[in-house]
Amino acid sequence: MEIRSAAEQGLASCHLCGKVSPVDLGECPRCGCKLHLRKPHSLERTWSFLIAAIAFYFPANLMPIMSVGGLGGTSHDTIMSGVLNFWKKGDLLVAIIIFAASILIPILKMLALVWLCLAASGKTRTSPKNLARLYHVTELVGRWSMVDVFVVAILVSLVQVGALSSVLPGPAIVSFAAVVVLTMFAAMSFDPRLLWDQHADRDLPDTP
């Protein structure tokens, strides 16, 4: 059985309201939104957000994220030094959680996006099912990565006990926020249908 995609029939789904209309209309007859077969400049945008996120990833990890002042002076910690401190103190679980949420997952997410982009432009060969799963995980987990930003934001607002203790955000926190936002944008602007387009082009002859 031949499956004909909507795109092949010249139908496009509206990005806003989801109504399927012929792409020749130009605008969605229901909401007036512009009609595209695919998200316009999807790969281009994803790449640009991805590169921006990677760029911000360096300052986010190299600069101190939080200054904790209290009895005995002020300490400045980067993410990694915080992880190492927890590890040295024996709080392995906390160290692993922070390491995973703030270092590992963002990296994996960006790597996944890079992979997806490459796949979408036909540079790699992976089964579309796996790619779809990867994309799903990326979008789902990604926005919960780098919880530090939120932890710091909460701590800063909660822990202000005068001279006894205070928490101040470090310069890395903006970069962290930027990485989170930019990866989210990158994931959002990626059009997973591009993956299947690649597949469809290649698989069509094989499909009866």
Partner 1 sequence: MSEETQEPRATIRHRRRWSSVWLVPLLALIVAGGLVWKHYAGRGPIAYVRFETAESVKAGVTEVRCLSVRVGVVERVDLADDVRSVVAEIRMDPDAEHLLREGSRFWVVKPRVSGASISGLSTIVEGAYIELEPGETTLPVHHFDGLEEPPVTPSSVPGLRLTLVAEDAGSLASGSPIYYRGFEVGRVERRRLDIENRRIRFDIFIKEEYSSLVRQGTCFWNTSGIDVVAGADGFKISTPSFQAMLSGGAVFAVPKGGVAGEPAQDGAVFQLYPDEDAARKSIFTPDHRILLYFDQSVRGLSPGAPVEFRGIPLGRVVEISFRHSPPGDSRVPVVIEIDSLTLGKAVEDIQDSTAVLAECVRRGLRAKLSTGSLLTGALFVDLDFVPGAAPAQLAKVGEYDVIPTESSGLAQLQDKLNSILTKIEALPLDDTLEKFGTAADEISITVKDLRGTLSEAEGALAEAKKLLARDETQNLTAELEATLKQVRTSVDSLGPQGAMQGDLARTLDELRAALRSFKVLSDSIEEKPNSLLFGREGSGDPKPRAKQR
- Residues at the site binding partner 1, with contacts judged by CB under 8 A: 7-8, 10, 23-24, 26, 37, 40-41, 44-45, 47-53, 55-59, 62-63, 71-76, 163, 171, 175, 178, 182
Tokens of 205: 């002859």
Q: How far is the CB of 148 from partner 1 (least distance, A)?
A: 17
Phi, psi of 33 (to 5 degrees): -75, 155
Does residue 38 contact residue 28 with C-beta atoms inside 8 Å? no
Q: Shortest gap between Cβ of 119 and partner 1 (angstroms)?
A: 20
Three-state SS for 137? helix
Cβ closer to partner 1: 61 or 145? 61
Q: Could you say which DSSP state residue 33 is in?
A: P
CB 176 within 8 A of CB 146: yes
Dist. CA 120–CA 42, nearest whole Å: 10
- Taking the complex as a whole, the smallest distance from the CB of residue 182 to partner 1 amounts, in Å, to 7
Angle between helices 172-189 and 42-62 (to 10 degrees): 160
Contact assessment for residue 96 and residue 170, using Cβ atoms and an 8 Å cutoff = no
Query: What is the C-alpha separation between 13 and 98, in angstroms, rounded?
Result: 40
Cβ closer to partner 1: 15 or 126? 15
CB of 118 to partner 1, least distance (A): 17
State the Cα–Cα distance between residues 206 and 208, nearest whole angstrom: 6
CB of 206 to partner 1, least distance (A): 19
> In degrees rounded to 5, what are phi and psi of residue 197?
-55, -45
Tokens of 142: 């990604």
**Residue 56 or 99: which CB sits closer to partner 1?**
56
- For residue 44, the minimal CB distance to partner 1 (Å) is 5
